[in-house]
A and B are shown apart, each in its own frame.
Chain A
Amino acid sequence: MEKLILPDIPHLRHIDVYEMRGGYQALKKALGMKPDDVIEEVKKSNLRGRGGACFPTGLKWSFMPKQTTKPKYLCANGDESEPGTFKDRAIFEFNPHLFIEGAIIAAYAMGVKTIYTYVRGEYAKWITLLQKAVDDAYAKNYLGENILGSSFSIELYSHKGAGAYICGEESALMNSLEGDRGYPRVKPPFPAQNGLWGCPTTINNIETLANVPIIINKGWEWYSQIGAPKHPGTLLYGISGHVNKPGIYELPTGVLLTDLIYKYAGGVLGNKKIKAVIPGGSSTMWLRGDEIDGVKMDAESLKAAGTAIGTGGVIVMDEDTDILKILTRITHFYHHESCGQCTPCREGCGWMEKILNRFLEGEGTMEDVDLLLDVANNIEGNTICALGDAAAWPVQSFIKKFRDEFERRAKKTPSMKKPVKPPHLVTLEV
C-alpha cells in the first residue's frame, strides 16, 4: 500500500522537494473550485477526524455559518498530548507542507481568513521545523495576501502550548489561545457558532488536515476506497511498548491489530506473550492479550470490540508487565492533567489514584476495587469535557478485564477497619 501522508521521499519537508513531488497542486485545484464543492468533496470522501472522536470532517466544516459578519477561524490542533500518541510530530518533521496545504484548503472551503496552529509546548524542535515550513509557504505566496494570484488571502500563525494536556481539548485550546486559563467550555454553544473570541471556529487535528490535499488531488471516490469503508484512508499508527520495532506506521484503516504488532512492528520483545493492549492512546479501553485476534483497527471494529480507535496510539504490554502499575501511572497522568474546573474529574481522579496506589503498596482490598469502579462510574459522563471519561475508561475496562490482577494483589490479612479483639485479661491469683 502506498504511503500517502508520510511517503518515503527524502527531504520532503523542504518546500522545493514537496513542490517537485506534486505539492500544492491540490491547493491550486481547490482554488479553482467553489468552496462548497470542496466541502462536498471532503464530505463524500468520508474523511473522519484523526484526533480521537472520529467526527466526519466535511460535516464539521459544513456547520460553519455561510452568512456572518464575524471573522471565522480554523484551529489546527497539534497539542498531541495523549500518552502513546506521536503521529502529528512525524508530520511536522517529515511532511509539514502537506498539513499546511490541507489547512489552507480547509480555510478556503470555510471562508476562514486566519489559521492558528496550536502545537504542544514540549515539541520545541518540531515547532521550529513547522515554522520553517510556514515561512517558506509565505515566501512562495501559498500563505499571505491574494495567494497564488487569487482573491483569497490567508494567515497562519503557530502557537506554542505551555504544557497542559487539557489544552488539546478543543474548547480549552481556544481559551488558551485567547490567553485565558486552559479550561474547557460548556457546550453548547459549539465552536462553529461561538468559538475563538466568540466567532465561528472549526478545530481540526493536524493529521486530519494532512489528508485533505490527497482527497482533493485524487478525488473522493479514490480516497473512500482505502481501508474500512466507514472510516476510510490511511492512519498513522503509533506503536509503543514491548514490540521489536516501535514507531509510526502508515497503513490503511481496518488493518488487523495482530498484523500491526507482528507483521509491521516486528512482534513482541523476546517473543513473549501479550498480556494487554491499549489500542488508541491511553484513554481507550484495554484489551486482553487473548482477545486481540481478528480485531481490526478502525472506528467501527474497535467499537464492536468494546474500545475505540482514539488517536491510533497502540501500547503493547507483554506477559511480564506489571499492568496495575501501568494503570496507576495512567491514572496519575489524568489526575495531574485534570484542569480542576468541574467537580467529578477534579476530585475523582485524585481519589482513583490514591486507591490504586494503595494496591501497589499491598494495602488494597476487594472493597476498594468496588469503590474504584464506583468512583470511575461517577466521573464518567458527568463532566464538562471528555477528560473525565478519558480517566474513567481505562479504570473501568481494567477492572472488567483484569479483576484477577486486583484479587492476586489484594491484602490477605484482615482489614484495619475491622474491630480488633480486646486483649485477653489474665487474673492473677494471689
Chain B
Amino acid sequence: MAKITIDGKQLEVDNKLTIIQVALEHGIAIPHFCWHPRLSVAGNCRICLVEVEKFPKLVIACATQVTDGMVVKTNSPKVVNAREAVMEFLLINHPLDCPICDEAGECKLQDYAYKFSEGVSRFDFEKVRKPKRVELGPNVMLDVERCIMCSRCVRFCDEIAKKPQLVFIQRADHVELTTFPGENLDHPYSMNTIDLCPVGALTSRDFRFKARVWEMSSTDTVCPGCARGCNMKMWVRNNEVLRLTPRYNPEVNDYWMCDYGRLNTFKYVNAENRIKAPLIRKEGVLANQTDSGLVEVGWDEAIAKVASELKSFDEDEIAGLCSAFATNEDNYLFVKLMNMLGVKNIAFLQHLIEGDEDDILIRADKTPNNRGVREVGLTSSINGSGWEIILRRIDEGTIKALYVIDDDPGADPRVAETLARLDFFVVHASNENDTTKLADVVLSSSTYAEKHGTFTNFQGRVQRIRPAVTTAEQDRALDGFAMSRLDKFGAHNDRWMQGPKCDARPTWRILTCVANALGAKWKHNTVEDVFNEIAATTESFKGMSYMKLGLRGMLLKTKVEVVAAPIHA
C-alpha cells in the first residue's frame, strides 16, 4: 500500500497501480486518449501529463506507478499549460470536419477541445493531407487525417483479438495507420477498434453517415447473437435501430463484442418482412407467390381462434415448442400454458454451429437463452430426441396441433414437410419465415428490441433486455424508454419522430391472453410480474428481482455447468 495525495485528496492505495488508475478509481478525472484499462500502456498521447512533487519534469499518469508519499497535481498551471499544448499539437493537423464526422458528439478529441483547449489555433499553415477513405477491412473505414496515432486499435488487434493486422508506417506528422501487406482488418472483432478510436478515424462502414449521435436514444440491452449474451447499447432514431455498441460488463464481455453480433442482431428488427399484425389463414384466400394466404386480423379474433382450436384437441394431440431465442419469461409462461392444457410433448431446438467459437467471446450455441429454457421448466423433456419424437408422432397422425414460439423449425425442408400435415399450427413470430408460411395462425410477437425480459447466458448469468423500439401498443414517453434529444424535445411533426410501428406484442403477453381466453385467470400485467413468479417458484432464481439484476445481471444459484472462463486469462 502507498499513501499518496492527488489534488489535496489523501488516499491509501495499492502501490502496483498507476496514477491514472488510482485517480479514476477515486473520481478524479485525468484526460487520456491512448490509455485504456484493458490495453498495454503506450504513453504516446501525452494528454495525461501531471505534476508530481520532487519530479523535475511532468510525468504521464498512465505510466507512472504510485509510490508512498507521492504528491500529484492534476490541475496545476504547469499541467494546464502542457495539456493545452498537447491539444494544440493534436489539432494542428487534424481536419476540421466535425460537422460531417460520425464521431462528433462522442469524440474524445472534441470533448477535450471544449474542455482543455483555448479554442484558437496559432497554426496558420496548410495541414498535412492524408487519405480520407481507406477501406481497412469489410467493416471498418479509415480516415487517416483524423487519426491521432494513439495506437489503441493496433494494440487491440495485437493483444485482445490476437490478430496483428494493423501497423503504423512513415514517420513524424506523416505517420499513417494501415494494414500489414496482404492483410485486411477482417478478424471477428474488428469493429471494436471503432469504439476504441477516440476520434473519427475508424468508422463503421455499416453505420457511416446514418445519424448524428445525439439524434439517437441508447438503450442498455443484451446481444441475442449467441449464448455469451454480450452487454450492449442499442441506438435508435425514428423507431429504427441504427447500430449496436458494446457495453462494459467485466463478467461477460468486458468492453467488447463481436462483429457478427453487432451487425446481424438488429437488421431483422427493421426488416421489410416484419409481421405487422396477427395473421389468420382464412378459407377462400389462396396462397400465391407473393402472398402467404394469411390475412391480418385483430388481436381478439386471433386469440379467440387459437383458444377455440386448442380446446378442440386432446392433450396428447397437442405439442409445444419453446424457444431459446425467447426470454425466460416467455418460456416460463409457455410451459405454464402447456401444463395447464396437460400437454406433455414439449421440446426446444438447439442452434449450434460446431466449431464457430473461440476463447474470446463467440460461442457455438447461437441462441441467447438455451440455459434459461432448461432452467424454467424444461429440464425433464429436454433430451434432444424430444423434438424428433414429436415430429414422428405428427407423421403418424397422433399429434395434430403444434404451438411454436419464436423459432423457425420449418427452415429444415424435411421438417416443413412434416409440419404441413398438422391440423392446426399456431406460431409466434416477428418476421416472415419458412414456418409462418405453414401456420394457421401467426401471432405477431415483439423482437428482443421491443420488450423487457431476461436471458440466461451460458455462464448461468441472468441478464435483462430492455425495449428500444416501440410497437403499436407502446408509447416512448409513457413506457420508460431511453430517450434521445428528439424524443424529449422534437416537435410532433418532426420527421425524425415518425417511424413505422408493428402491432406486435411480447410473447409472454400473448401467452397470458391465450391462457385467459382458455379460462385461466393469469394476472401478469408486466413482465416483471412474470419474473417475480419465476423467482418465487424456481430454486435457481430465488432472491432475484429486476431491480437486483440491474445492468450487470446475476448468476443462477445452481452448480454452474459451464465454468465461466475469464475472457482475458
Q: Which A residues have a C-beta under 8 Å from some C-beta of B?
A: 164, 166, 181, 186, 335-351, 354, 371, 378, 381-384, 417
Contacts and interface: CB of A to CB of B under 8 A. Distances in A.
Chain A interface main SS type: helix
B174 interface: yes
Contacts of A378: 82, 85, 88-89
Given A181-B167, A382-B46, A336 B89 contact: no
B171 A347 contact: no
B125 interface: yes
Given A349-B172, A381-B58, A382-B49, 20 more contacts: A186-B43, A186-B63, A336-B171, A337-B171, A338-B171, A339-B172, A340-B174, A342-B46, A343-B86, A343-B89, A346-B172, A347-B90, A347-B93, A350-B128, A350-B172, A354-B125, A378-B89, A381-B57, A382-B86, A384-B44
Given A351-B92, A382-B49, A383-B46, A371 B85 contact: no
Nearest to A335: B172
Nearest to B174: A340
21 contacts: A164-B171, A181-B167, A181-B168, A186-B60, A186-B63, A340-B172, A340-B173, A343-B46, A344-B85, A345-B172, A347-B90, A347-B173, A350-B172, A351-B92, A354-B125, A371-B122, A378-B85, A382-B46, A382-B49, A382-B85, A382-B86
B538 to A, nearest CB: 51
Interface string B161-193: 000000110111111000000000000000000
A335 B173 CA distance: 8
Contacts of A350: 93, 128, 172-173
Contact of A344 (B41, B46, B128, B148): B46
B149 interface: yes
Contact of A382 (B58, B63, B125, B173): B58
Contacts of A383: 46
B527 interface: no
A350 B148 CA distance: 15
Contacts of A371: 122
A255 B377 CA distance: 93
B486 interface: no
Nearest to B122: A371
A186 B41 contact: yes
A186 B63 CA distance: 8
Contacts of A417: 124
10 A-B pairs with least C-beta separation: A340-B175, A378-B85, A186-B43, A347-B89, A338-B172, A350-B173, A342-B44, A381-B57, A354-B125, A186-B63
B38 to A, nearest CB: 18
Contacts of A381: 57-58
Contacts of B49: 382
B43 A384 contact: yes
A380 to B, nearest CB: 9
B123 interface: yes
Contacts of A346: 89, 149, 172-173, 175
A340 B43 contact: no
A395 to B, nearest CB: 15
B454 to A, nearest CB: 44
A347 B149 CA distance: 11
B155 to A, nearest CB: 12
Nearest to B85: A378
A254 B182 CA distance: 56
A351 B43 contact: no
Interface string B41-61: 111111101000000011010
Contacts of B173: 335, 338, 340, 346-347, 349-350
A349 B125 CA distance: 14
A389 to B, nearest CB: 10
B63 to A, nearest CB: 5
Nearest to A349: B172
Nearest to B167: A181
Contacts of A348: 89
With most chain A CB atoms within 10 A of its CB, the pick from B47, B60, B86, B90 is B86
B442 to A, nearest CB: 59
A347 B47 CA distance: 14
Nearest to A417: B124
A181 B178 CA distance: 14
A338 B93 CA distance: 16
A382 B48 CA distance: 11
B66 to A, nearest CB: 13
Given A344-B89, A347-B89, A347-B92, A382 B82 contact: yes
B374 to A, nearest CB: 47
A347 B122 CA distance: 13
Contacts of A164: 171
